[in-house]
Amino acid sequence: MRILAVSGSLRAGSHNTNLLRAAIDAAPQGIEVELFDPAGIADLPLYDQDLDVAGDVPRSVARLREEWGAADAILFATPEFNGSVPGGLKNAIDWASRPRLEAPLTNKTVAVIGASTGQFGAMWAQADLRKILGIAGARVVGDELPVTRAHEKFDAEGGLLDGELHERLRLLLGTLAAESVPAGVSAAA
C-alpha cells in the first residue's frame, strides 16, 4: 500500500510538509508514505485547455499525472491562504482532474489535513479542498485534521513535538489505506 503525500506549500520550511514527514514516521506497518516533491507543483503551467492535448501535454503535467495516478491513495496537507487553498495546489488538482474518465484523481481515495500558524488550523482551506477534490472525482475519506499554531508543533529540525497528533496521523493513514482501491484496480471490480 503506497500513499503519496502532497503538500500545498512550496516553501522549504513548510509546516504542512513537516506534517507529512511526520505522517511518514506515523505510518502503520504495511503502509508506505512517500513525499511528493513540491517542485512537481511549482513547475506546472497554469491550467490551459489548449495545452491539454492528448499525448502531448507539458512534461511537468505528464509527470504529475503519472505519479498521482500510480499512488494507491493520496494524503493532502494544505495551508490556508486568504481563507482557502493555495493557488498552486488548486492548479495541480485541475491538471490531475483531466482527462475526465482516466484522470489520476478519478476514484482516487484521498484524505485532507492542514496546518496554519493561526487558531483554526486551516479549517476553511481543508473544507474547500475536500469540496474541490470531490468535484474532481476523488473519494474523500476521514475527518479533517486541523493543526493550529503550527509553529509550536515542530522542533527546529521539523520533528513533530505533539504525541497526540502522531496518533491521529496514524489512525488517519489506517483509514485511508482501508478505504483505498489499489492503483490499477477498477473501483467497480
Ligand X SMILES: Cc1cc2nc3c(=O)[nH]c(=O)nc-3n(C[C@H](O)[C@H](O)[C@H](O)COP(=O)(O)O)c2cc1C
Residues of this chain that interact with ligand X (CB under 6 A) are 9, 11, 14-16, 79-83, 115-118, 120, 122, 150
Select 11 or 100, whichever has its Cβ closest to ligand X: 11
Q: In this structure, what C-alpha cell is assigned to residue 40?
A: 512537481
Select 109 or 126, whichever has its Cβ closest to ligand X: 126
State the minimum distance, in angstroms, from the CB of residue 22 to ligand X.
Answer: 13
Burial per residue of 90-125, b for 16 or more beta-carbon CB atoms within 10 angstroms, e otherwise: bebbbbbbbeeeebbbbebbbbbbbbbbeeebbbbb
Whether residue 115 contacts residue 153, with contact meaning beta carbons closer than 8 Å, is answered with yes
Helix (H, G, I), strand (E, B) or coil at 63: helix
State the minimum distance, in angstroms, from the CB of residue 141 to ligand X.
Answer: 22
DSSP secondary structure code for residue 186 in this structure: -
State the minimum distance, in angstroms, from the CB of residue 126 to ligand X.
Answer: 11
State the minimum distance, in angstroms, from the CB of residue 8 to ligand X.
Answer: 7
113 strand-pairing partners: 77
